[in-house]
Amino acid sequence: MELAIGFILGCCALGAGLAMIAGIGPGIGEGNAVAKACEAIGRQPESKGSVTSTMLMGCAIAETTGIYALVIAILLIFVAPNMFVNILLRVMGA
């Protein structure tokens, strides 16, 4: 019983850590976006305002996949262990 609960908790933590690997993608993508925006501002300094606002917008959209991973990780850490342990206890009790 203790082993099973420990296994569930450990796997939830591992899963949360693995889910956050998705943070690589937005990191690279946003880095690219900001690099290009810097280039554009360097070439045309007068378009700084519109380039910056477009870049922020694009960054926030590129962030979406990272946010999905984060939501999954948060669910795995704070919600899933409780739920799975409850299921286990109900099955074992019955």
Pick the closer one to another protein by CB: 20 or 41: 20
Exposure string (b/e) for 4-40, b if CB count within 10 Å is 16 or more? Answer: eeeebeeebeebbeebeebbeebeebbeebeeebeeb
Pick the closer one to another protein by CB: 4 or 70: 70
Q: Is 71 in the site for another protein (CB under 8 A)?
A: yes
Q: Is 60 in the site for another protein (CB under 8 A)?
A: yes
Among 56, 83, 87, 89, binds another protein (CB under 8 A): 56
Among 38, 74, 83, 87, binds another protein (CB under 8 A): 74
Q: Which of 73, 80, 90 is nearest to 9 (CA)?
A: 80
